[in-house]
């Protein structure tokens, strides 16, 4: 028999019960929360960090922190939103740390576990992508990954939360620990930088599509 998908309200309500039970020492209740929300947090983490390894670490750390801070949660928001924000906070810290580590290295490593995946966190892109890589994937996709990797951690977080997570400015400001106007400014700056880097490629693709010559 096919299991019915629970409604949002039911999920929030049962999340609240699971939180209560976890607070009384029931670890299995926390397992329910982890299993329910992991995939959603993973999507955010992957978009923020740009690779599977870091994304998985962010997910684990977010749930560990949520468990430790659970008594502060107090059902102010729903658990999903709360853990999402914890993950965003941790991902920013991790990206900042990685950026500073990378900038201290003379030669940033760009090898990846999977051939097609580029380390989005490398701060100094090595110019144009190699012909082999271009053959593997479209030029636009490569450029998009590079452009995202050149955003600052705060800009990337703001962009991911706003355009992929659908978060409001207040929520982004909370994750960035800044004022609403600064968060708004960060969102704008991220789109502006992406436009500058990518519009020539997007336009090329549009023209190619119009002429029926797109690869």
Partner 1 sequence: MKHPKEEELIAYHDGEAAGRETIATHLGDCPECQAELERIDALLAALNTIPVPEPGEDYGQRVWQQISPRLPQRRRYWWDFLFSEPNTVQWLAPRRWVAAGAIAALVLAAFIAGRLTRPGTPIAPVAVDQTKVRERILVMAVGEHLGRSEMVLVELANSGPQSAGQQVNISGEQRRAENLLEENRLYRQTALEQGDSALAGLLDELERVLLDVAHSPQQVTPAQLEGIRLRIEARGILFKVRVVGKELQQRGESGNAPAQPNGSAKNERNKV
List contacts with partner 1 (CB under 8 A).
22-25, 27, 30-31, 34-39, 42-43, 46-47, 52, 56, 59-60, 63-64, 67-68, 93, 96-97, 100, 140-141, 144-145, 148, 154, 162-164, 176-179, 181-189, 191-192, 194-195, 198-199, 202-203, 205-206
Phi, then psi, of 64 in degrees rounded to 5: -65, -45
* Residue number, 49 or 78, with CB nearest to partner 1: 49
**Could you tell me the smallest distance in angstroms from the CB atom of residue 1 to partner 1?**
17
Q: How far apart are CA 56 and CA 38, in angstroms?
A: 10
> Which is nearer to partner 1, 22 or 78 (by Cβ)?
22
From residue 101, how far is each of 7, 97, 164, 172 by CA, in Å?
44, 6, 28, 26
Identify the sign of the CA torsion 155, 161, 163, 167: negative
Least distance in angstroms from the C-beta of 177 to partner 1: 4
Secondary structure of residue 6 in the 3-state scheme: coil
Q: How far is the CB of 107 from partner 1 (least distance, A)?
A: 24
| 52 three-class SS | helix
Distance between CA atoms of residues 129 and 127, nearest Å: 7
Of 45 and 78, which has the nearer Cβ to partner 1? 45
* Shorter beta-carbon distance to partner 1: residue 91 or 107: 91
């Amino acid at each position: 028999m096919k299991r019915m998908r629970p409604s949002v309200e039911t999920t929030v309500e049962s999340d609240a019960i699971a939180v209560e039970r976890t607070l009384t020492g029931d670890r299995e209740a926390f397992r329910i929360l982890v299993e329910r929300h992991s995939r959603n947090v993973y999507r955010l983490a992957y978009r923020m960090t740009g690779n599977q390894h870091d994304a998985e670490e962010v997910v684990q750390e977010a749930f560990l922190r949520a468990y430790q801070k659970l008594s502060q949660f107090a059902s102010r928001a729903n658990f999903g939103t709360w853990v999402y924000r914890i993950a965003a906070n941790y991902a920013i810290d991790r990206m900042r740390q990685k950026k500073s580590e990378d900038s201290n290295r003379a030669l940033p490593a760009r090898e990846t576990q999977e051939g097609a995946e580029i380390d989005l966190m490398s701060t100094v892109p090595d110019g144009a992508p190699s012909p082999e890589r271009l053959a593997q994937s479209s030029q636009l996709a490569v450029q998009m990954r590079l452009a995202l990797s050149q955003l600052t951690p705060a800009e990337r977080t703001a962009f991911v939360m706003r355009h992929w997570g659908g978060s409001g400015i207040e929520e982004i400001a909370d994750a960035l620990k800044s004022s609403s106007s600064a968060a708004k400014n960060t969102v704008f700056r991220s789109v502006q930088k992406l436009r500058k880097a990518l519009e020539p490629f997007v336009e090329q693709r549009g023209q190619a599509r119009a002429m029926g010559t797109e690869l």
